[in-house]
Amino acid sequence: MKLSKLHNNITLMPHASLIEKYFPALSDKQKEQFGQLLELYPEWNSKINVISRKDIDNLETNHLLHSLGIARFIHFQPGTKIMDLGCGGGLPGIPLAIMNPECSFLLIDRTGKKIQVASEIAKALGLKNIQFRHGDAGEVKEKFDFVVSRAVMPQGDLVRLIRKNISAECHNALPNGLITLKGGELAEELRGLPVSETVELSRYFPEEPFFATKKLAYTPLV
């Protein structure tokens, strides 16, 4: 995605119109940062593949807006601590960090190149509320209010992996736990877990066909 130029050579940032449509209360800074993402991801993806090259043209809908389904599900209170497990190139963590500047985020992934991309993008955005770690979630000792993840592994496997990282002190409208973005039928995957909630993302983004089969799964762990 290339920047456009006016006749007086002023460069315009890409416009995150869909994000602004569903999140009309964004600040000017947030609008600018989401616009930057529409430039930064294609630029980095041409060097290090973190998003399918067949899908990069659908970046705003299929990746950024998808990540922000979590922001429609829960409004994180200031001071909330969130870990993005298996963040890849920074999704959903980076869009959520833009949306929640008063919360702190740790993004972790086993692939060093992906962490490099995510770190450089966050640096370019000027995000101060986000940290990155190259490694495995089993090595993480810190406590968080929520762990988020985007199609990394089955919900039960994630619960077993990150239960130790969930703080017992709750500060949000929902109990601390695991929030994941998934697709397809989840009944079998969620069977046997603590009472979990499933939300159809088409409820939040009804005019976007991509979300017809996309879901959010929430498992409280305190």
Which residue carries 């879901």 as its tokens? 215
Q: Parallel, antiparallel, or unpaired: how do β-strands 11-12 and 4-5 relate?
A: antiparallel
| Whole-number Cα distances in Å, 200 to 30, 62, 64, 111 | 26, 15, 17, 30
The pLDDT of residue 72 is: 98
**Which pLDDT value is given to residue 66?**
97
- Contact between 132 and 80 (Cβ < 8 Å): no
pLDDT, position 194: 74
Task: Please report the pLDDT score of residue 143 as a whole number.
Answer: 97
pLDDT of residue 12: 55
pLDDT 10s digit of each residue in the chain, 222 long? 444 444 344 445 577 799 999 999 999 999 999 999 999 999 999 999 999 888 999 999 999 999 999 999 999 999 999 999 999 999 999 999 999 999 999 999 999 999 999 999 999 999 999 999 999 988 999 999 999 999 788 999 999 999 999 999 999 999 999 999 998 888 888 888 877 889 999 999 999 999 999 999 999 999
Contacts of residue 115, defined as CB under 8 A and 6 or more positions apart, other chains included, come to: 87, 107, 108, 109, 132, 133, 134
Indicate the pTM of the whole model: 0.92
* Cα–Cα distance for residue pair 28/77, rounded to 1 Å: 21
Strands (E), the chain: 4-5, 11-12, 81-85, 104-109, 130-134, 146-150, 177-183, 197-200, 214-220
Instruction: Give me the pLDDT at residue 13, please.
Output: 56
Please give the structure tokens belonging to residue 171: 């500060």
Question: Residue 138: what pLDDT?
Answer: 87
CB 180 within 8 A of CB 216: yes
